[in-house]
Every structure is written in C-alpha cells, then in structure tokens.
Chains A and B, each alone.
Chain A
Amino acid sequence: MYSSLLAFGYLLASVTFIVGLKMLSHPATARRGNLVAAVGMTIAVLGTIFLYEKEGEPLGNYGWIFAGILVGTIIGTVSAKRVKMTAMPEMVSLFNGMGGACAALISLVEFDHLMHMDPMVLFALAMGGGEAVAGLQGFLLIILLGLIIGSISFAGSVIAWGKLNGSIKDFSFRGQHIFNLGLLTIIIGLAAYLVIALPANPHWYFYSIFALSVVYGLFFVFPIGGADMPVVISLLNSFTGVAAACGGFLYDNKVMLTGGILVGAAGTLLTILMCKAMNRSLANVLIGSFGGNTKASGSSATGGTYKEISLSDTAVLMSYANKVYIVPGYGLAVAQAQHTCHELEKLLESKGVEVNYAIHPVAGRMPGHMNVLLAEADVPYEKLKEMEQANDEFSTTDVVLILGANDVVNPAAKSDPASPIYGMPILDVELAKHVIVNKRSMKPGYAGIENELFFRPKTSMLFGDAKKILQELVAEIKSL
C-alpha cells in the first residue's frame, strides 16, 4: 500500500518536472513552471521520507534526516534571498556544485556500505559467477559514475564560482589539455579495472578515483576564460543531472532518473544554445580557452589615442538627440546603476528623446542576465531591444551610450581573425552618429582583450563609476 502510494507520488513528481521545465521556457508561464516543479519536488521528498521502504523496512535516522533538511533549507533560503541580483550566476554555480557533491557523497556512502557487507556474502557473490557478479559489477559501475561525474561537477562549479566573483584568476600552463586528457584517461582506466577485475583492495582504487576526479574538475575549469563561465556552468549543470540519474539507477528510483536525465539533456541543449548565441562551438569554448591566447593578440590592437568628453557636453549631446540607445554591460550591474539609468531614460523621454536599450545576448554574465537586472529597475519590457533589432536601428541613432560594456561592442570580433572573440556577433554601435563610452578606466574588458572601438574617431570616453556618472549626468541635464 505504502510503496504503491510512493510510486504514484514519484510519477506525479516526474510529470511536474517535465511540465515545469516546459513552462519555464516561455516568458508568460515561467514563474508558475518553477512553482510546479517545486511542488513536485516536495511531494517526492516527503513521500521518500515517510513511505519509502526496502524489503519491508522503513527508513530510520529521522532525527538526522530532518536536521539535515532543516539546516539545508535555512542555508539555501537565506543565501538565495540575500544574494545580489548581480551575483546570481555565481550563486547558481555554487548550488549546482552542492548537487554534484551530494551525488558524490551518496556514492562514497554506498561504497562504504558495500565494504561493510559480510566478506562471506561478497565471496559467495564472486564465486556464484554469472548474474551475481554481473550485478555487483553493475552496482560498482553506477556508484563510480555517480562519484566521478559528481566530483567533477562539484570541483568545477566551485572554480566557476570563484572565477565569477573574481577570487580565482585564469590559470593555465603549457600542455594543460594533454595533462587533462591524461588525467581523464587514468580515471577511466582505474574505474574500468576496478569494475572488470574486482581487485582485492578496492579501497585504494575507489578513493584514488575520487581524488583524481576532484583534481580533474579543478583543471577542467581553470583554463577557461571568465567570459565563458556561463557555458561552463550550464555544462556542469547537465553533468550534475547525469550524476543524479546514476542515483536513479542505483535505487531503481524513477523520479531521480527522470529528473536527472531530463536536466542532463536539457542542460546539454541549453549549453549548445548559449554557444550559438556567441557564435562559437562548444569545443572552441572548452579547448580554445580565452586566457591562453589573449596575450598574443592583445598587443596588436593597442596604441592610438582616444578622446575624452566632458559631462556637460554629454548632457547637451544627449538631450538634443532624437534617438538614443543605451548599451548596458556588466559594469553597469556592478555599479548597481540600473535604477539611475532608468531615471536618465525617463528624463530624456520627458524631453522628447527616444531612448531604448540594446541588449546583447550575453550582456552581463549570462544570457538574459541583463534583462533581469533592468527589469528589477522597472525598465519597461518593450524598451529592451534584442541585438538584431538594435543593429538595424543604429544607423538612425544619434547617440549610443555604452555603460560598462566592452567585449560585446568590440569590432575585433568582426575584423580580427586572431582575436579570441572573433566570430561573436556584436552590437554595431559604430553605425550611430556618436558613441559615448563610460568605463572606469582604459583597462581591457572581461575577456582581457583591447577594444579598438575606443580609439575610433566617433568614440568619446567618459571615465568614472557608472552610477556616479549617471547621477551627475541626470543633474546636468535637469539644469540645462
């Protein structure tokens, strides 16, 4: 009775995951989709706690389980509520890493459990030949898969988190790809040997595989440039999905299987879609790491002179324009200037200037990140123009104001095949009559490459913190 009720609950939860994911991919239903999946998850978790039984035995250790869930809920809710909108991507990465760690821990405990089994039972299994051995091997294979994928996802996500918040720098050395490939080969080799040969001292192999997988996760993400982190996080996200599905195999648990594989597949597709938005292949992101070859190409674009523009000139230029485009970048988000930016937009509109925002698909730190930030500041939806739309309109635009964006307007993406961002579609701001770039300094952008745009005759630089500059600009325009 209980177990059939649980099976029904799992079925229900699996359906909510699929429906939830479907709803999440349409703007109008996205929020409800998230809730639907959350309800399904609650059913699955509560059902497991109270209804799960193995060979007639219900689960024990309720104190530990509830304490764990309580602690986890508090940590999860508080950190998710308190995180700044700008730090959202690294938060998602960290949560993903925890899921990966959870999968790896399950494998560790299950292995420990296997080792505590009566040696006689194991011996009988080994001697029983045929199906029993195949069963043991299948079991080992699944926990190894969960261990390897979970550990890589955990270690990689932590590095991605550190890179996004700036505490970990890009790091690569000569032959790193060979080193990584070798490491992966060793991991797979050890795992295959452990499963096929069932050696007498499995501990040694198992824990070595665990350690090497963590190391691999670190070195997998280390060389990949910060600007590519969203793609990496999305990829690691699908890894964790597969690791969760391993748990589904292990316990013959259909909801873990559906949820895990669903996310594994959807995550992989999402990763590819993100790469497409940058017009690059996944292999190019993973192997042609940004960090490595920037030094070579960076120097070619340097030099030349740039001109600065004063605040009052900017104010005049903008208030007497017909059409203004604002190109927001991560710099705007860091300065928390989206509200002031909205204020400027309203002020200009009241003077009869048409103001729009040009949003590059990867503006901010993740696709869609900038839309979230501007929506937070009450900027109306219809003012956010997508790249193609904006590119059509730049030729009739008087002033383009670039706020803390850099790589997404770098003409090298179109003209310089040696540039690491070559091939990425960019916003053609040069078509406009004037380009005003607000940056804190002449330092190169996130991808670490120089931007020729700043040295072009149409471009003027307006140095300073985005928020401060915008506030002063608003005051200046008011006093005109």
Chain B
Amino acid sequence: MQTLLNWIELNQSILYIVILMIFVGIEVIGRVPAVLHTPLMSGANAIHGVVIIGAIIVMGQAPADNYLALVLGFLAVVLGTVNVVGGFVVTDRMLEMFKKKK
C-alpha cells in the first residue's frame, strides 16, 4: 500500500496527463459523423506512430557491440516509420477524395 502511494506521488504529473488525455480524447472526437469514421481511425493510427520516438531512443542508446539490440532497434525504427508515414499518407489520400467536391 505504502509503495503504491509512493509511486503515485512520484509519478503524479504523468498520471495527471493520462487522466486528462483520456477525457480530451473522448471529447475531441465525440461528435464525428459516420462518414469520417474511416479517415479518423486512419489518422489516429498515424498519431500512435509516436512510438517511433521510443524506437529512435532505443536505437540511439544501443551499445555498438550489442548486435541483438542494434538489429531489433533498427527493425523497430523501420516499422515505426512505416506506421507514421504510411498512416499520414493513406489518410491524406482518403481525405483528398472528399475535398475535391467544393
């Protein structure tokens, strides 16, 4: 119990972010029309590509003689980049179709 409370105290700013972001995430897309469900999902998909930052940090800190870490880190950077770049490009392509109408 004590450790849990300590942990909460130590990480309170992070916990505040988590809780507030949950509400922001829900509020922000609360009124989305069904037409935009697919592009929105795809756009959100690109945004969780921020995980690429973790991959870059892991890669940048891997010791030069640890090949396992280097290879896995490299793979993580590649996959994360595909997620980010592919996600944004595919969303843009979808939304381009909508824009032409005006």
Residues of A within 8 A of B (CB): 13, 17-18, 20-22, 24-27, 30-31, 33-35, 37-38, 41, 44-45, 48-49, 52, 54, 58-62, 64-65, 67-69, 71-73, 75-77, 79-81, 83, 85, 88-89, 91-92, 95-96, 98-99, 101-103, 105-106, 108-110, 112-113, 116, 131, 134, 138, 230, 233-234, 237, 240-241, 243-245, 247-267, 269-270, 273-274, 277, 361, 366-369, 371-372, 375-376, 378, 380-381, 386
In the complex with contacts A88-B90, A92-B90, A244-B51, A254-B17 CB distance below 8 A: yes
Chain B residues contacting A113 (CB-CB under 8 Å) are 61-62, 69
Chain B residues contacting A25 (CB-CB under 8 Å) are 28-29, 31-32, 36, 40
Chain B residues contacting A109 (CB-CB under 8 Å) are 58, 62, 68-69, 72-73, 76
B1 within 8 A of A: no
| Complex: A245 Cα to B25 Cα, angstroms | 13
How many Å from the CB of B53 to the closest CB on chain A?
A: 5
Cβ B47 vs Cβ A37 within 8 A: yes
Contact for B34 among A234, A269, A368, CB less than 8 A: A368
In the complex with contacts A257-B14, A266-B25, A266-B44, A103-B61 CB distance below 8 A: no
Question: Considering residues B18, B38, B45, B50, which has the most beta carbons from chain A within 10 angstroms of its beta carbon?
Answer: B50
Chain B residues contacting A68 (CB-CB under 8 Å) are 55, 59, 74-78, 81
Chain B residues contacting A105 (CB-CB under 8 Å) are 55, 58, 72-73, 75-76, 79
Chain A residues contacting B84 (CB-CB under 8 Å) are 41, 45, 72, 76
Chain A residues contacting B28 (CB-CB under 8 Å) are 18, 21-22, 25, 262, 266
Cβ B37 vs Cβ A273 within 8 A: yes
Chain A residues contacting B7 (CB-CB under 8 Å) are 134, 138
| Complex: A68 Cα to B57 Cα, angstroms | 13
Interface size of B by CB at 8 A reads 84
Cβ A368 vs Cβ B35 within 8 A: yes
Cβ B69 vs Cβ A64 within 8 A: no
Chain A residues contacting B40 (CB-CB under 8 Å) are 21, 24-25, 30, 266, 270
Closest to A265 in B: B25
| Complex: A137 Cα to B48 Cα, angstroms | 26
| Complex: A116 Cα to B67 Cα, angstroms | 13
Tally the A-B contacts, defined by beta carbons under 8 Å: 379
Contact for B70 among A44, A61, A252, A266, CB less than 8 A: A61
Chain B residues contacting A61 (CB-CB under 8 Å) are 59-60, 62, 64, 70, 73
Cβ A27 vs Cβ B79 within 8 A: no
In the complex with contacts A95-B83, A112-B66, A112-B68, A256-B97 CB distance below 8 A: no
What are 19 pairs between A and B in contact, CB < 8 Å? A24-B29, A24-B44, A26-B36, A45-B52, A59-B56, A75-B86, A76-B85, A80-B86, A80-B87, A95-B87, A105-B76, A237-B45, A255-B53, A259-B47, A259-B48, A273-B32, A366-B41, A367-B38, A372-B39
Cβ B64 vs Cβ A99 within 8 A: no
Contact for A92 among B41, B47, B76, CB less than 8 A: B41
Main secondary structure of the interface of B (DSSP, over half): helix
| Complex: A67 Cα to B75 Cα, angstroms | 10
Cβ B41 vs Cβ A234 within 8 A: yes
Closest to B33 in A: A27
Closest to A267 in B: B44
Q: What are the 9 closest A-B residue pairs judged by CB atoms, nearest first? A: A72-B81, A59-B60, A265-B25, A68-B77, A76-B86, A76-B85, A247-B54, A367-B37, A259-B50
Residues of B within 8 A of A (CB): 3, 6-7, 11, 14, 17-18, 21-26, 28-64, 66, 68-70, 72-101
Cβ B3 vs Cβ A134 within 8 A: yes
Contact for B54 among A234, A244, A375, CB less than 8 A: A244
Chain B residues contacting A48 (CB-CB under 8 Å) are 53, 56-57
Chain A residues contacting B23 (CB-CB under 8 Å) are 265
Cβ A30 vs Cβ B85 within 8 A: no
Chain A residues contacting B48 (CB-CB under 8 Å) are 96, 99, 237, 240-241, 243-244, 259-260, 263-264
How many Å from the CB of B81 to the closest CB on chain A?
A: 2
Question: Considering residues B17, B36, B53, which has the most beta carbons from chain A within 10 angstroms of its beta carbon?
Answer: B53
Cβ A77 vs Cβ B86 within 8 A: yes
How many Å from the CB of A282 to the closest CB on chain B?
A: 15
Cβ A99 vs Cβ B49 within 8 A: yes
| Complex: A68 Cα to B55 Cα, angstroms | 10
- Kindly list 9 other residue pairs between chains A and B, CB separation below 8 angstroms, not including A41-B84, A67-B74: A27-B36, A38-B88, A68-B78, A81-B93, A85-B97, A101-B79, A102-B55, A134-B6, A230-B37
Cβ A20 vs Cβ B43 within 8 A: yes
Cβ B86 vs Cβ A37 within 8 A: no
| Complex: A253 Cα to B65 Cα, angstroms | 27
Cβ A108 vs Cβ B72 within 8 A: yes
In the complex with contacts A27-B33, A259-B50, A269-B26 CB distance below 8 A: yes
In the complex with contacts A261-B18, A269-B29, A41-B81 CB distance below 8 A: no
| Complex: A71 Cα to B55 Cα, angstroms | 14
